[in-house]
Chains A and B, each alone.
Chain A
Amino acid sequence: NAGVMQNPRHLVRRRGQEARLRCSPMKGHSHVYWYRQLPEEGLKFMVYLQKENIIDESGMPKERFSAEFPKEGPSILRIQQVVRGDSAAYFCASSFTQYEQYFGPGTRLTVT
């Protein structure tokens, strides 16, 4: 009974490159959420998706960031033209209902 899977666990990108973060939800979960955690801060909501639909992207920057959750395959968080300020831990969570969310181990993005 695998939990939420995220890969890669660590990702290093140079400024201007693209970062792709993947998340496979727990089996049976159709709700996926992405959060970002900056050093010494709590987790901040970015986007909420169900299969093939973005439900709420109010926490996601308008520029350079996009997310998808296709019918088949993992959810992808994509950051184009990364900048140093994008360096953070990115966590994916999934849930069966909209309440109890279960988190993956996170992807630590470092932009050099």
Chain B
Amino acid sequence: DQQVKQNSPSLSVQEGRISILNCDYTNSMFDYFLWYKKYPAEGPTFLISISSIKDKNEDGRFTVFLNKSAKHLSLHIVPSQPGDSAVYFCAATGANNLFFGTGTRLTVIP
């Protein structure tokens, strides 16, 4: 049972434009959400997180939005850069462990 879902396996964006990655979850007990970036043959790198008491968190080019009523979160990257090309995983937690989505492969075209 996949409690965290990323329905878009891939996304291509022009350099300088906005990238929007989406994530849905089913468990209303989740209270903390994270985005990780992963390059091949490396471990996931923490990017940004948001608590369920907020609806937005911003860190430089990265902004995460949380819509609790829709059980949906999104990651906005603006402006997108070629170095942002990677697989992005969203994750959620309410207790001891993280539940991960299956990832979205972002390609930023120069």
The one of B43, B96, B97, B103 in contact with A42, judged by C-beta atoms closer than 8 angstroms, is B103
Residues of A contacting B98 with CB < 8 Å?
A: 33, 35, 43, 45, 93, 101
| B contacts, CB < 8 Å to A | 4, 6, 32, 34, 36, 41-46, 49, 89, 93, 95-103
By the criterion CB–CB under 8 Å, are A106 and B103 in contact? no
Residues of A contacting B99 with CB < 8 Å?
A: 45
By the criterion CB–CB under 8 Å, are A4 and B43 in contact? yes
A45–B89 Cα distance when bound, in Å, is 14
By the criterion CB–CB under 8 Å, are B96 and A103 in contact? no
Residues of A contacting B43 with CB < 8 Å?
A: 4, 6, 91, 93, 103-106
Residues of B contacting A48 with CB < 8 Å?
A: 96-97
By the criterion CB–CB under 8 Å, are A91 and B44 in contact? yes
